Chain A
Amino acid sequence: MHLGVSESMRECEYSQISTRSSTPMETPYKKRTPKKRKWESFPGRNKFFCDGRIMMAKQTGVFYLTLVLILLTCGLFFTFDCPFLALQLTPVIPVIGGVLFIFVLGTLLRTSFSDPGVLPRASPDEAADLERQIDVANGSTGYRPPPRTKEIVINGQTVKLKYCFTCKIFRPPRASHCSLCDNCVERFDHHCPWVGNCVGRRNYRFFYMFIVSLSFLTIFIFAFVITHIILRSHRSGFLNALKDSPVVVCFFSVWSIVGLSGFHTYLISSNQTTNEDIKGSWSSKKGKDNYNPYSHGNIFANCCAALCGPLPPSLIDRRGFIQSDTPQLAPPTNGITMYGATQSQQSHMCDQDQCIQSTKFVLQAATTPLLQQHSSEPVILTASHENGGTLPGRASLVLGGPCTSLPLGQPTPPTSTSSLSCHEPADMLPIHGHSHGLQEPVAHHHYLTPEEVPSPPGMLPCGSPMGHNHTIQAGFYDPASQDSLHEDSVRGLVKLSSV
């Protein structure tokens, strides 16, 4: 420690001598990187536009199809049917059509572009604290960690809260992890490829207004197109009239959209999500005493709450700037810690940096006196003998980076091609973290719909190295909170060695 002090003192003198050109050198890390906004290092699989103001899912192809269909249908209606109808019947028809069209577009764009209620991932300190609590509660075993659930009672009903391994939080009730967007979303309804986004707490009312207004619009267009055809077929033939109108598109969409609106009206009036309805969580078939604890009692109150309730703010602060967070947990005996090191910057480092850092950490671990306080020290030393493939997995687990962002040549999930039906969420239980235990894969098959099973192909290479050393994982969670300060000490040591 004295060595550290004298070394840093020497460094002080050195920088004083060469002040002519060295002012930027004192803080090389901070000056080199310009201020980034938080959306640029968002860990989920989302696309951002307009400097973070617009947020969508990764696959937006079907959304553009939706736009094209709506624009095409309305365009044909206004071009071919409206002039005739305005003259023959009343000019109010195109006006109403126009209003409906604008409302539909507005709600569609609002649904697609807004944050559905994404829950930000846990900070490393939080995750470590949770891990510690879970270990204490379960009695740390050397083997695979037990499935992580918490049971709570809400308004008389027992609800299980599941632990999300990607986001490292216990999911609030009604939240679910969307595997397509790789985010936990509050009050998750479903992932809708037609709007190119998840439907959750913050945009459910816009989604509902979109499908209801679209139902009215399609019925409106359908009705007046039929009227037009009938009126025109009095003059020219039936087939002539038919060829100019968007009847076919309308015909098919009317039934599906109206059906969907009806379904969601039912969901809103009973205050359920699509997910809950499909699983039958609150159906009376499961038991006589099974009821929905979230319902407000009557249909009117449920509708008001869903549609006119207060709009919660976005929790992910897309346009905020990344800045140094609250101070790190300090090492008790390390005077060379870089105090200004930023936790958020570290967690947003590219994964190759994480690999390098954690490799350095492992190699330097023996020289740092800190590890003598951890009982997991021998565990960490054995990890250094593993191949480099384990470390990316470990780094991503500890530092919260998703496995999917690893540079493993991950293809886009095959579910994208089959995603034309709206997805129900699959609860993201440990398919990519800890599914090496004998019992866990069996238990978790309940939660995986067939679409979800192939979804994280890129994650499996991350998951399988971890499968070889599950004994080490239990130990890794302890130094998770110390990881960032270990990196500090490593950086410090590296700096020392370079002086």
Chain B
Amino acid sequence: MAGQLIREWTAIQQFPAATQEKLVDLLGKLKNENVNTLTILVMGKGGVGKSSTVNSIIGERVVTVSAFQSETPRPVMVSRSRSGFTLNIIDTPGLVEGGYVSDQVLETIKSSLGRFLLNKTIDVLLYVDRLDAYRVDNMDKQVVKAITDSFGKKIWHKAVVVLTHAQLSPPDALSYEEFFSKRSESLLKCVRQGARISKKDLQNFAIPVALVENSGRCNKNEHDEKILPSGTPWIPNLVHTITDVALNGKEGILVDQKLIEGPNANERGKLYIPLILAVQYFFVIKPIQKWIKDDIARETKPSWD
């Protein structure tokens, strides 16, 4: 870390006292376990609230958010330190462009990670989506698959599903709890399918879900903390979930050369080419040659005589 000056996390002081207290406690918990750095990668489709969530965690508008245009143009890493503890959060552009998961965006993310975090680990993945989306479809599955292909299935051991726009009035006269539970279930099912997590492996991949409300009109409790409809202050709740995942004993994802360079879709199956050629030669071409030779041998006289 020589020569690298990381900004002091002064924005933590703008949180209401009750939230600050809880955050400081959580940082203390990490330090007790000898964890002095926490690196969080934030990914998901476009327009779901990744940048807003980053701003909410840090406590200041570090990443620009626009309600209209396609947001974050390239990955941004925000680093803050406080009493020897360093927090790194990487905000990324939405993975979907024009109806497909964008390979270009993925490549940009990987090369940025190579610049920010070469040979360092990603401790937590925040997979962000909206609570008030009513469909989980192939697109979501493809996003999950792309993340899995790029970072390995193990990243889902270190993942938190973050649902934004949590302050909603549920549709169709459902209760909030019912709606939240069904929505989480659909999304988690999609993650399992996209990451190819088998049924028997399920208990290994218990991915927690955290609710988030980033807008300025989020309700507050008597201590001025931003709360969810259930009354829980959501910022400490989110950070608590993150720390639990960071300390869950599973390995973080190492950002090494291998991760940055592959897998490239074009590379897939290249190793099979010599094998396929060999199979074709020995099992198709040679037998046909033999049959032709046998046929010639069987012919005793020309048929046009």
- A and B physically associate: no
Residues of B within 8 A of A (CB): none
